[in-house]
């Protein structure tokens, strides 16, 4: 692939586990050189996380492999004077410094924003934390589940009988990482104009609330708190999960013409003129009755047949897949979403990693190298001219 948008950008990545590594993975896919700075002999905690105990023991756990392809790894102990000197030398040549320590940790190590800016005025420094670098909660520990609960996300996930429920993947970590990657890309664009670096303070809590969109804004505007609705869409009906002959089917007939087309295709054209369902707001009020009528008709054919028929007619509809089924979709193969890489330990296994859903000039963004072994690129470390730590 020709030069990617962030080609020539160097990122020093001090992050662990998910939000930070997910951010730097996006930057790597966009062309940045990402150097993971890891604790000697230990490294990223994600190296020991995942369902395969052997990989965890080898320091290449599945959780690590998923987010770190294409990066480099060097080991530095920032409590050691010689390693601090090496780190500061690297800072002078870096474009971005990324970390997801608890708020203020890096500053207590002697690398607050004033010091970083002194070492490299062009540096873009991004700190990801649960609650941001300031405020009464800034020192509280936070993982994804904590943020899901505090944001209100869990309160509206599931049904009135099952909520609160955790979303089935670490969505707050992912959203925090995406917001951080977006802000870094924007800061680099701004630096090209001003020549000056910037400090980016990313709060996972705030990023998650922002991503919750209508669930939050509808309350702020209308004063009506959102409620858990399971697989139904609060903004429209019929919109949710329905019963096909062989299993569940998602249908989102959010427009009037889609509702009318759906009724015709399932053989229930009479529902169009039913006073309970004729208008959008009436359908929402009588959602349960409408769903019962449609389910009775939909149970006559398999989900795959309905998916094809409804989609061709312009009604959004699709089967509900498992993760193993989803990753085998022909659509993903067509767009080159997954990349096969050799395993970092040299074993004959194949490592499959995801892209990010972006094509650049028609080409998918792919990692070119497997995730690094801990300290794999230590030999790349440059030794400063002096052995002591810079003042």
* Residue extents of the structural domains in the chain: 10-211+337-380, 239-321
Q: What is the pLDDT of residues 28-50, one digit of tens each?
A: 999 999 999 999 999 999 999 99
Q: What is the spatial distance between Cα 371 and Cα 304, in angstroms, rounded to a whole number?
A: 38
In terms of CATH, what superfamily is 10-211+337-380?
Crotonobetainyl-coa:carnitine coa-transferase; domain 1 (3.40.50.10540)
Mean pLDDT of the residues in the chain: 95
What pLDDT sits at residue 3? Answer: 85
Q: Do domains 10-211+337-380 and 239-321 have the same CATH topology?
A: no
- Which residues face 114 on adjacent strands? none
Question: One of 173, 246, 274, 345 is an active-site residue; which one?
Answer: 173
Is residue 374 within 8 Å of residue 39, measured between CB atoms?
A: no
Phi–psi pair at 3, nearest 5 degrees: -50, 135
Q: What confidence category does residue 94 fall into, taking pLDDT thresholds of 50, 70 and 90?
A: very high
At residue 384, does pLDDT exceed 70? no
Handedness of CA 191, 194, 195, 200 (dihedral sign): negative
* Whether 243 is catalytic: no
Distance from the Cα of residue 248 to its chain's centroid = 26
Kindly state the greatest CA–CA separation across the chain.
84
Is residue 165 within 8 Å of residue 154, measured between CB atoms?
A: yes
In terms of CATH, what superfamily is 239-321?
formyl-coa transferase, domain 3 (3.30.1540.10)
DSSP 24: H
Q: What is the spatial distance between Cα 296 and Cα 212, in angstroms, rounded to a whole number?
A: 33
Q: What is the spatial distance between Cα 341 and Cα 325, in angstroms, rounded to a whole number?
A: 21
Q: What confidence category does residue 66 fall into, taking pLDDT thresholds of 50, 70 and 90?
A: very high
What pLDDT sits at residue 2? Answer: 59
Residues contacting residue 186 through CB under 8 Å, at least 6 positions apart: none
Alpha-carbon distances, residue 381 vs 36, 82, 88, 99, 384 (angstroms): 12, 12, 12, 20, 9
């Amino acid at each position: 692939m020709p030069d990617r948008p962030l080609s020539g950008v160097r990122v020093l990545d001090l992050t662990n586990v998910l939000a930070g590594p997910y951010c730097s993975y996006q930057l790597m896919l966009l062309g940045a050189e990402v150097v993971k700075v890891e604790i000697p002999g230990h490294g990223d905690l994600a190296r020991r996380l995942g369902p395969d105990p052997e990989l965890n023991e080898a320091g290449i756990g599945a959780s690590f492999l998923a987010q770190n392809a294409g990066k480099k790894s060097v080991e530095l102990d920032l409590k050691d004077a010689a390693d601090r000197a090496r780190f500061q030398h690297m800072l002078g040549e870096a474009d971005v410094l990324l970390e997801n320590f608890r708020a203020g940790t890096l500053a207590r190590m002697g690398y607050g924003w004033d010091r970083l800016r002194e070492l490299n005025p062009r540096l873009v420094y991004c700190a990801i934390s649960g609650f941001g670098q300031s405020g009464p909660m800034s020192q509280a520990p936070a993982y994804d589940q904590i943020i899901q609960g505090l944001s209100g996300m869990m309160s509206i996930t599931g049904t009135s009988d099952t909520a609160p429920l955790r979303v089935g993947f670490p969505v707050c970590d992912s959203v925090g990482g995406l917001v951080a990657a977006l802000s870094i890309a924007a800061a680099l664009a701004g630096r090209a104009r001003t020549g000056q670096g910037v400090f980016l303070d990313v709060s996972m809590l705030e990023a998650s609330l922002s991503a919750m969109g209508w669930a939050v804004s509808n309350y702020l505007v209308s004063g009506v708190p959102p409620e858990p609705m399971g697989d139904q869409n609060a903004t429209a009906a019929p919109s949710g999960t329905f019963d096909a002959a062989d299993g569940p089917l998602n249908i989102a007939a959010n427009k009037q013409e889609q509702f009318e087309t759906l009724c015709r295709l399932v053989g229930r054209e009479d529902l169009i003129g039913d006073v309970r369902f004729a208008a959008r707001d009436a359908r929402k009020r009588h959602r349960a009755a409408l769903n019962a009528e449609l389910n009775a008709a939909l149970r006559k054919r398999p989900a795959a047949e309905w998916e094809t028929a409804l989609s061709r007619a312009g009604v959004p509809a699709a089967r509900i897949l498992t993760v193993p089924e989803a990753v085998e979709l022909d659509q993903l193969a067509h767009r080159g979403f997954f990349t096969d890489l050799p395993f970092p330990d040299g074993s004959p296994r194949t490592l499959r990693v995801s892209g990010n859903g972006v094509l650049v000039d028609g080409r998918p963004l792919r990692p070119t190298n497997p995730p690094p072994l801990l300290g794999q690129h230590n030999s790349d470390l440059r030794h400063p001219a002096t052995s002591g730590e810079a003042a």
